[in-house]
């Protein structure tokens, strides 16, 4: 069976288009937490999932659930562990970030 150049080119374009549609989902960045600290306070942002639930040093902070930022005070020079549970497409996950509470200036 012989295929014309036009049909072959159309099939190649269609296959490339289908492959391109799959790339963004596969290339999606992993969920993460970014935190800054200064003046014995912190602020953290979450990116990469939905329905975030926030925990600081294993204590749940329901007032921040559903939000993508949490902030608060911290004890100078101590390690703070911030965790977020989330879902992506109905699949649950968790991400954590540890940092040392900075009593000095904000970065």
Beta strands in 1-107, from DSSP E residues, in sequence order: 32-38, 41-47, 50-56, 59-60, 69-73, 79-88, 91-100
pLDDT at position 78 over 70: yes
Domains of the chain: 32-100 (2.60.40.10)
Tokens of residue 42, six digits: 């912190």
Burial (CB count <10 Å: 0-12, 13-18, 19+), residue 85: middle
Reported as a single tens digit per residue, the pLDDT across 59-70 is 999 999 999 999
Confidence of residue 52 (pLDDT cuts 50, 70, 90): very high
Reported as a single tens digit per residue, the pLDDT across 8-27 is 444 444 444 444 444 444 45
The pTM of this model reads 0.73
Distance CA 11, CA 30 (A): 33
Of how many residues is the chain composed? 107
């Amino acid at each position: 069976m012989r295929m014309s150049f036009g049909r072959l080119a159309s099939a190649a374009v269609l296959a490339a288009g289908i492959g391109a549609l799959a790339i963004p989902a596969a290339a999606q960045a992993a969920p993460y937490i970014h935190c800054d600290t200064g003046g014995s306070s912190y602020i953290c942002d979450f990116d990469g999932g939905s329905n975030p639930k926030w925990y600081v040093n294993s204590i749940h902070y329901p007032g921040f659930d559903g939000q993508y930022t949490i902030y608060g005070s911290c004890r100078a020079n101590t390690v703070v562990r911030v965790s977020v549970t989330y879902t992506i497409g109905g699949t649950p996950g968790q991400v954590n970030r540890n940092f040392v509470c900075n009593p000095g200036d904000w970065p």
